[in-house]
Amino acid sequence: MSINLDIAVERWPIAGTFTISRGSKTEAAIVVCTLTDGAYSGRGECVPYARYGESIESVVAEIEALRGALKNGATRDGLVTLIHAGAARNAVDCALWDLEAKRNHSSVTSILDMPALHDLTTAVTVSFGDAATMAEAARNFADRPLIKVKVGGENDAERIRAVAEAAPSSRIIIDANEGWTDANIVENMLACAKAGIVLIEQPLPAGNDAILAKIPHPVPICADESAHGTDDLHTLLGRYDSINIKLDKTGGLTEALRMQKRARELGFGIMVGCMVGTSLAMAPAVLVAQDADFVDLDGPLILKEDRAPGLEFTGSRVSPPKPELWG
């Protein structure tokens, strides 16, 4: 059946400023792919990420290049031969899932023969800054069960101590975004262990993390920028304890589910994360996150406002998507 493609670029203001060690931003620039067969439509959202060589323009061009194949009936399984993993494939893959569900008057969970979805507890994020500012932000989240804290600069041990003291009842993930070095990783990891941190995410640059196989892990270490596709997971053994699955990295829900299954077989813990986007981007990830050890799907909470209808957040609890949103 012929499918028509529409591509839209949207910019969603962030509530304040979102900062990691690489820089700050005040808006989420996203691309929405809508596929229509004449009677039904399916949508998928992606967030181009400069760290992976992506831009709004490049992602739009990659999706546009699929117009002919989609018109001729390209399928999810066929996408892997047409486009590499990344944000563009994510948007198209998720739109195809949504379209199939709408056509069948069913749900993606039914198509996948999954149990009914349950609510999840997501992390909330503290942006990178000086120790005092980060402690104040953590104090405002002190009633939340899980906090993710952005570090990756000089004096991170001080930041770690400050946020842990500000939110003593919360479980805390430290995300260095590749910002540590061989020279300071042991000091920072020991600071994390002393502060009771539950997970350290991507402490060293991808491709420059060999030391992780040689030093103790007093706190489990999670691969993010080092973890992209299923076929590369075996290369992370011995260096990482967990992996962060993001649909904008895997290239959609199809590969994310495959990656999840293989990661469990290899003994990795699983985090399901996100870029900063709207509920449309989070919705498919909710399916992958159903048995995750850590869930980090607070993208909509970072925005000034979310799309409507969106996911329902009650504190740190996020409910499964309704069909009007996706799936």
**C-beta atoms surrounding 213 within 10 Å:** 11
246 among known catalytic residues: yes
State both tokens at 284. Answer: 């498919």
Q: Of 214, 246, 249, 304, which is the active-site residue?
A: 246
The alpha helices in the chain, defined as continuous H runs, are 56-64, 67-71, 76-82, 87-103, 108-111, 131-140, 156-166, 185-195, 247-250, 253-266, 279-288, 299-302
Burial of 34 (0-12, 13-18, 19+ CB in 10 A): middle
The Cα 305–Cα 277 span in angstroms is 11
Q: Of 71, 150, 214, 261, which is the active-site residue?
A: 150
Give CA separation, 176 vs 61, 63, 110, 150, 160, in Å: 32, 31, 38, 6, 11
Among the listed residues 195, 202, 140, the one whose alpha carbon sits nearest the alpha carbon of residue 172:
195
25 among known catalytic residues: no
**Who's near 27: CB < 8 A, 6+ residues apart?**
11, 12, 13, 14
DSSP H or E run through 124: strand 124-126
The answer to whether residues 126 and 302 touch, using CB atoms and an 8 Å cutoff, is no
The answer to whether residues 66 and 33 touch, using CB atoms and an 8 Å cutoff, is no
DSSP H or E run through 41: strand 41-46
The Cα 231–Cα 161 span in angstroms is 37
Strands 120-121 and 124-126: unpaired
Among the listed residues 182, 194, 183, the one whose alpha carbon sits nearest the alpha carbon of residue 174:
194
Catalytic amino acids?
A: 150, 246
